[in-house]
Amino acid sequence: MKNTQGILIPEEIRQRVLNAKRVVALTGAGISAESGVPTFRGADGLWQNYRAEELATLHAFRKDPELVWKWYDWRRGIIGKAQPNPGHEALVRMEAFYPRFTLITQNVDGLHRKAGSRNVIEIHGNLWRVRCTEEQKTFYLEDVPLREIPPRCACGALVRPDVVWFGESLDPELMNRARQALVSCDLLLIIGTSGVVQPVAGFPAVARQAGAMLIEINPAQTPLSPLCDFTLNGKSGELLRELIPHAVY
Ligand code: NAD
């Protein structure tokens, strides 16, 4: 039976998903789109005519920390009001259903944890956490809007969002955990990512090489689509619930 998006999930795929034991979900901005959080590459991803790639960099921060923090303050304002959607919730249920389940997210919005997911690798950091540019210590700063822009540490130095900017390296410990999960999974779900931000865009190939089945959920085709066994071209909220009715409802 087709769903409201006109998409049919073949029985064979349902069965393989049902029988999986070690599952990894890799999520991107698209899973939070139905919560009202703009993606970077969607039409509403622009802010004051800047593209994310111009603001989410160390270079931009050094040049104009006030501008960069104003952008983050805007994003935190949107995300602070957002609630997890059925896509986030379906992943929480999957974690309870499968013997091994790891969620690797590129999102910095914290919505997976807010929904109740526990084994979450926030590979690009978290936008509610900040890092002192002098002492490198991290702490949560959750004021919306911020009381001062740019915000500062008690030591007087500027703080930056504790996220991975374009051109920066990922935390090796988190990379290692992600890799462990990818090489040992039998099913990888790739949800709401445009598949262009490295090194995460290379993760599906790692799971594929290790023999996992790959299923993508995204309204658009992506560079990762040809690698997948199956692509569901629709929104993740409804489709995730349908893919795993055994786990969920
Ligand atoms: P992206 O903006 O490049 O791509 C979003 C993808 O989601 C697109 O392929 C789009 O077709 C798809 N999509 C849109 N609506 C969807 C829906 N309802 N269901 C499923 N898919 C949907 O995002 P990205 O690939 O995650 O990479 C961008 C980088 O931007 C990441 O590093 C991430 O940290 C950051 N980012 C995070 C957030 C967030 O935390 N919510 C938001 C924007 C960007």
Tell how far the Cα of 210 is from the centroid of ligand 1, in angstroms: 26
Tell how far the Cα of 243 is from the centroid of ligand 1, in angstroms: 20
**Contact predicate 219/232, CB 8 Å:** no
| pLDDT number for residue 6 | 73
Q: Does any ligand 1 atom lie closer than 6 A to the CB of residue 194?
A: yes
| Residue in 40, 57, 74 to alter for ligand 1 test, most ligand atoms within 8 A of Cβ | 40
| Catalytic positions | 124
Atom of ligand 1 nearest to the CA of 196: 25
pTM: 0.95
d(CA 240, CA 238): 6
Mean pLDDT per block of 10 residues along the chain (249 residues) reads 73 91 98 94 77 94 97 96 97 95 98 98 98 98 97 98 96 98 98 95 98 97 97 94 73
| pLDDT number for residue 248 | 55
Distance, first Cα to last Cα, the chain: 17
**What residue spans define the domains of the chain?**
3-36+83-124+169-248, 42-81+131-163
Residue nearest atom 16 of ligand 1, based on CA coordinates: 30
| pLDDT number for residue 123 | 98
Q: Does any ligand 1 atom lie closer than 6 A to the CB of residue 197?
A: yes
| pLDDT number for residue 174 | 98
Atom of ligand 1 nearest to the CA of 200: 32
42-81+131-163 CATH fold: SIR2/SIRT2 'Small Domain' (3.30.1600)
| pLDDT number for residue 175 | 98
| pLDDT number for residue 149 | 98
CB-hemisphere CA count at 13 Å for 58?
7
3-36+83-124+169-248 CATH fold: Rossmann fold (3.40.50)
Atom of ligand 1 nearest to the CA of 217: 20
DSSP-derived secondary structure letter, 4:
T
| pLDDT number for residue 244 | 82
d(CA 246, CA 84): 21
| pLDDT number for residue 27 | 98
